[in-house]
Structure 1
Amino acid sequence: MTDTEDDPFGEQAVEVELAGAMPVDFVAFHSQNGLAFLHYAQWELGDPEVAAAVVEDVFTFLLQVWPEALQEASLSGFAWAHLREHVARYKAAEVVPVALVKTAQFAALRRASRRQLKAQPVSTLGLYEAIAELPERQHDVVLLTFVLDLERKKVAQLMGISTTTVRSHIHTARRMLAEKIDLDWTPGEGKDL
């Protein structure tokens, strides 16, 4: 694998260039969160180029208000809220299809709980439509945890919430999804939906 394949968005080159011109803590925040923000925006918007532009706008905004952002109770929560706001603003301005596009459905389906899904005919699942209808926080946690396959600790860090809150959102989302798509789900600690 080449360096370009390891870093498909050129993040390392950008970070090296930015390191001398921007606050070190901003560059570190960008380095830790930029790729996850980009993946989230891609899943939500369905277009990698649009997602990259939206995430760039978010980080440009954050840089402009960086001293104030550092004063926030949760820098990650502040940044996440602005990412969601920018994505929502783009969706409102453009006609964007359901956030979880067909290719995302198949990728996530492979990772979903096999024993639960094998018993259900694919045409009756409606899982991805149900995920799109979850309340904001549960939607984000499910998308980041199960579709983008991030660890709960990373999800908590990105969203500026505790891992206990992530676990609570997962539990609530599982219950809501099970009811919505009529799955027999027994609560447990496994990561699969």
Structure 2
Amino acid sequence: MTVDYVAFRELNRPRYRRYARARTGDADAAERAVEGMLADLAVVWKEVLRSPSPAAAAWCLLGQNIEKCTRADTGSALHRVLRTELADTALLHLQLGVSLMDAADLMGVDVSVVRARLAVAEREFRPELAARYRMAWGGTVSRHMPG
């Protein structure tokens, strides 16, 4: 393993674990997903470094591994009602309280993309769904979401 891979892994592993735990609702599945993603990432690390956004490539691998480790009827309520990129953004920022800048950094996108995704998520997350899925935020809906 290269020093840059180890640094990337150690910087992001705790954040990936926190996100994966919230998305899967299962600590064991989250751990399998994160460790599987990091193993996959190590294999393609040289190619990832040549990509426009290594963080985006890693985020994509994380999503793929979470999908493998999560049953369709479990996990994040957000991911059952919103497109993945919208649900990811809402989960990070609204549920986990990750700043816009940190969410952008983690997903490998510009902060303007995070803002746009949150705006679209607000429009798509209908008030009746907000009431149904209030538990996604521990019983309350963020000021960013209708409900």
Q: Same fold (TM over 0.5)?
A: yes
1:65 aligns to what SS in structure 2?
helix
What letter matches 2:61 in structure 1? H
- Secondary structure of the 2:109 match is coil
Counterpart in the other structure of 1:28: 7
Indicate yes or no: 2:23 matched with 1:44.
Answer: yes
Letter in 2 for 1:147: Q
**Residue 148, structure 1, aligned to residue 96, structure 2:** yes
The amino acid that maps onto 1:76 is A
**Where in structure 1 are there 5+ consecutive unaligned residues?**
1-21, 101-128, 184-189
State the Cα deviation string for residues 110-165 of structure 1 (Å, max 9, x = none).
xxxxxxxxxxxxxxxxxxx4663111111000001111110110110111111001
Q: Work out the number of aligned pairs and report it.
A: 135
**CA root-mean-square deviation:** 2.2
Structure 1 residue 139 and structure 2 residue 115: aligned? no
Please give the alpha-carbon distance, in whole angstroms, between the structure 1 residues aligned to 2:79 and 2:27. Answer: 21
CA contact (8 A) 2:9 2:38 kept: yes
Which residues of 2 match residues 98-137 of structure 1 at below 5 A? 98-100=74-76, 129=77, 132-137=80-85
Structure having the higher Rg: 1
The aligned amino acid for 1:145 is H
- Report the Cα offset of residue 90 of structure 1: 2.1
Q: Give the structure-2-normalised TM-score.
A: 0.81
Inter-CA distance 130–51: structure 2 relative to 1 (3 Å threshold): closer
Aligned amino acid, residue 84 of structure 2: E
Which residues of structure 2 form unaligned runs of 5+? 132-141
Question: C-alpha distance in 2, partners of 1:144/1:72?
Answer: 24
The verdict on how the C-alpha distance between 1:86 and 1:182 changes in structure 2, with shifts beyond 3 A counting, is closer
Cα distance per residue 1:56-77 (max 9 Å; x no partner): 1111111111111101111011
**What is the distance in 1 between the residues matched to 2:143 and 2:111?**
13
The residue number in structure 1 matching 2:56 is 77
Kindly indicate whether the alpha-carbon contact (under 8 Å) linking 1:45 and 1:96 is maintained by their aligned counterparts in 2: no
Q: 1:191 to 1:75 in 2, by over 3 A?
A: farther
Task: Give me the whole-angstrom Cα distance separating, in 2, the residues matched to 1:44 and 1:82.
Answer: 15
1:160 aligns with 2:123: no
- TM-score scaled by structure 1? 0.63
How far apart are the structure 1 equivalents of 2:27 and 2:122?
29
| CA contact 1:41–1:87 (8 Å) conserved in 2 | yes
Report % sequence identity: 27
